Amino acid sequence: MDLFTLKYGLFSDKPDLLHNLPSLQKMKDRFPRYIKRAERAQMMGRTIAREVLLPKVLELDTKCQKDPSYVDWELFKELNRRKALTGFVPEKMGGLGWSALDCFAFIEESFAACVGISAWYLFNLFGVACAFVEFKPEICIKILQDMVKAQREGKPLSFAWSITEPSAGTDAEDPLAMAKMKPSAYAKKVSGGYLINGRKQFITNGDLAHFVVATICTDPTRPAVESMGTFYFPTTTKGFSVERLEHKCGHKAKHTAALVFDDVFVPDADVWEEPGRGMRHTREILSITRGVVGMLGLGNARGALERCIQFASQKKVNGHRLIDENWVQIAIADMLKDIMILRAKCYDFAIALDKLHVFCILENIPAKAALKVLPESLLMSESLQALAKSPWLSKAVSRFKHSLVTDETMEYFASQGSALKVAGTDLAMNVSSRVLDITGIEGMAYRYGMEKIYRDAKASQIYEGTNQANRIDLFMQEIGEVIGSC
Ligand SMILES: Cc1cc2nc3c(=O)[nH]c(=O)nc-3n(C[C@H](O)[C@H](O)[C@H](O)COP(=O)(O)OP(=O)(O)OC[C@H]3O[C@@H](n4cnc5c(N)ncnc54)[C@H](O)[C@@H]3O)c2cc1C
């Protein structure tokens, strides 16, 4: 059976953002560019999904099952050529100038094709999220310039974000659980910087990364939260190594590595957050990325349902199509309804990121004016990096960023993000399981990809904080204060 024959979902040839989210029509009247660009991003995601990702989904799953270090560099080059990794970079610097809304419209399609491949190339942007959360101008400018250069040269530039340790998963990312954290890695102050020793594990793209952002404790005598800092270093630094790659149940195309730090030296200039502020850094990133993982769950659920609809419209039972059965239509409608409701919340989150979180920075007057006035040659130059290094500018920009994204804003997004992460990944689990009930054993055949989506869904309930930990986080944020628990 050739699975994708209906012009539906990933295979529709028109954007359906406004059909799915009719309230955006009001916004389109007022901000036509904002909505039209999101529609274009959706179609770009759909085209890439059909032309680049879908033909590779099972091939990569199989190859990475045999060899978890396998990378399809040809696929990478094609994604890079189409600017799938630099969409968010301002247009004047060589990107597509995407807002959070555009990014979400694009990633929904990519995740619906394959969350494993998408997480491999998109979670690379964790490094960029880490930099923008810090908003140290010289770092942000250098990372943006390097990403654009790599894109133009067709080369990879990867970042990993490492918080999980062999002795601390939930404990390393939840402020309450952290009280019990027993670190497996420490950074010791030495002249001019820190020496890091210890281990991290389950780190996405840890083996492919050119740079690592790591949250690490500095003082074994104090509670972890009081001494955790954020460190940034190139993986060429002496003492850094990859211990192993994990064999996982899903997300096989995305590498997950255990890392070893053996006297890794990080100069003071690359300490992004001083000891004691590492948890804040983690929370702010999670306040963005949990929403992204909610969208991943939505895409995963959509991918499962769309394959099921395609399958059921071709499979014959009792002399008619499986999809003509009333019980199948009711089950599909039930799943569609959950997807529709969750999608509305995901895009609400994206628009809120544009208005209130880091994405709003580039829309504010100083950044917007700089992007408008400065010529492209200067924006891509080392002189701009040198200028951005000046301590007064660094301080002013950092203050500006923290005035826009306050601690309250960050915690608000963390709880919204937790709700999305749990709702999205649980929905992916439910839908990917339910479609297998509909298609039966034939639909479970590896070649249709639905069984793979089920495995992918399971893995996504665990990272970015387990869904249990996210539920507790959500409860504490929304109800804790009311009942006097935090
Ligand atoms: C595919 C994949 C990719 C990943 N990528 C990254 C990455 O790039 N960077 C990174 O740093 N990490 C990454 N992780 C790690 C991930 O963030 C952790 O697995 C996650 O935080 C859970 O930690 P743990 O596995 O150690 O489980 P534990 O924290 O040991 O939890 C085990 C069980 O106990 C429960 N539990 C623990 N503490 C509490 C508590 N206080 N309250 C209630 N329940 C609790 C959990 O919910 C869970 O059910 C990745 C994981 C996977 C599977």
In a domain, 22, yes or no: yes
Same domain, 259 and 286: no
Residue whose Cα lies nearest atom 48 of ligand 1: it is: 466
State whether the beta carbon of 435 lies less than 6 angstroms from ligand 1: no
Coil vs helix vs strand at 185 = strand
- Cα dihedral sign, 351-352-353-355: positive
Q: Kindly state whether residue 2 falls inside one of the protein's structural domains.
A: no
Q: Please name the residue whose Cα sits nearest to atom 31 of ligand 1.
A: 170
Same domain, residue pair 296 and 206: no
Per-residue pLDDT for the chain (486 aa), expressed as one digit of tens each?
888 889 999 999 889 999 999 999 999 999 999 999 999 999 999 999 999 999 999 999 999 999 999 999 999 999 999 999 999 898 988 899 999 999 999 999 999 999 999 999 998 877 778 888 877 788 888 888 999 999 999 999 999 999 999 998 888 888 788 888 889 999 999 999 999 999 999 999 999 999 999 999 999 999 899 999 999 999 999 999 999 999 999 999 999 999 999 999 999 999 989 999 998 889 999 999 999 999 999 999 999 999 999 999 999 999 999 999 999 999 999 999 999 999 999 999 999 999 999 888 877 777 778 888 888 888 888 888 888 888 888 888 888 888 888 989 999 999 999 999 999 999 999 999 999 999 999 999 999 999 999 999 999 999 999 999 999 999 999 998 889 865
Q: Is the CB of 245 under 6 A from ligand 1?
A: no
Domain finish residue from 253, 276, 299: 276
- Which CATH number belongs to the domain containing residue 123 in this structure? 1.20.140.10
At which of 276, 299, 333 does a domain end? 276
Asked if residue 83 lies in contact with residue 95, where contact means CB atoms within 8 angstroms, the answer is: yes
Please give the distance, rounded to the nearest whole angstrom, from the Cα atom of residue 76 to the centre of ligand 1.
28
Residue nearest atom 16 in ligand 1 by C-alpha distance: 463
Residue 174 CA, closest ligand 1 atom number: 41
Mutate to test the pocket of ligand 1, among 173, 245, 466 (most ligand atoms within 8 A of CB): 466
Q: Indicate whether 214 and 66 sit together in one domain.
A: no
Tell which of 276, 302, 320 closes a domain. 276
- Report yes or no: 202 and 256 within 8 Å, Cβ to Cβ: yes
Beta 211-217 vs 193-204: how paired, if at all?
unpaired
State which residues form the domain around 133: 9-151+282-480
Residue 1 lies in a domain: no
Query: Which residue, among 91, 255, 47, has the nearest Cα to 160 in the 3D structure?
Result: 255
Work out the burial of residue 416: count CB atoms within 10 Å of its CB; fewer than 13 is exposed, 13-18 middle, 19 or more buried: buried
In a domain, 115, yes or no: yes
In a domain, 3, yes or no: no
Check whether residue 172 and residue 97 sit in a common domain: no
Place of tokens 């100038």: 97
Given ligand 1 and candidates 462, 471, 472, 473, which is best to mutate, with the most ligand atoms within 8 Å of its CB? 462
Which of 61, 120, 164 for mutating ligand 1's site (highest number of atoms within 8 Å of CB)?
164
Q: How far is the CA of 470 from the centre of ligand 1 (A)?
A: 10
- Category of 470 on φ-ψ map: left (φ > 0), alpha (ψ -120 to 50) or beta: alpha
99 lies in some domain: yes
116 lines ligand 1 (CB under 6 A): no
| Residue 152 and residue 137 in contact, taking contact as beta carbons nearer than 8 Å | no
- Same domain for 351 and 399: yes
Is ligand 1 within 6 A of the CB of residue 469? Answer: yes
* Domain of residue 163, CATH code: 2.40.110.10
Given 3-state DSSP classes, what are the helix, strand and coil percentages for the chain, each rounded to the nearest 5? 60, 15, 25
Contact indicator for 163, 177 with CB cutoff of 8 Å: no
Ligand 1 neighbour 282 (Cβ under 6 A): no
Q: Are residues 347 and 383 in the same domain?
A: yes
Statement to judge: residues 70 and 202 lie in one domain: no
Where do runs of H (alpha helix) occur along 163-276? 224-227
The tokens for 8 are 């539906």
CA distance 143 to 157: 10
Q: Are 170 and 177 in contact (CB under 8 A)?
A: yes
Alpha-carbon distance of 304 to 443, in angstroms, equals 11
Pick the atom of ligand 1 nearest to 204's CA.
8
Question: Angle at Cα 467 formed by Cα 287 and Cα 300, nearest 5°?
Answer: 85
Which residues make Cβ contacts (< 8 Å) with residue 162, sequence separation at least 6?
200, 203, 206, 212, 213, 214, 215, 259
The answer to whether position 233 is within a domain reads: yes
- Is ligand 1 within 6 A of the CB of residue 127? no
Task: Look at the block and give the residue holding tokens 């060589």.
Answer: 94
- Count up the domains in the chain and report the number: 2
Q: Which residues pair with 321 in a beta bridge?
A: 316
CB of 75 sitting under 6 A from ligand 1: no
**Tokens 């820190």, located at residue:** 194
Q: What is the pLDDT of residue 409?
A: 93
Claim to verify: residue 107 and residue 146 sit in the same structural domain: yes
| Domain membership flag for residue 296 | yes
Same domain flag for 318 and 354: yes
Q: At what angle do helices 278-312 and 407-443 cross, to 10 degrees?
A: 30
Q: Closest by alpha carbon to 344, among 455, 424, 273, 228? A: 424
**Residues 165, 112 share a domain:** no
pTM of the model: 0.95
Q: Are strands 159-162 and 211-217 parallel, antiparallel or unpaired?
A: parallel
Instruction: Name the residue at shortest CA distance from atom 51 of ligand 1.
Output: 463
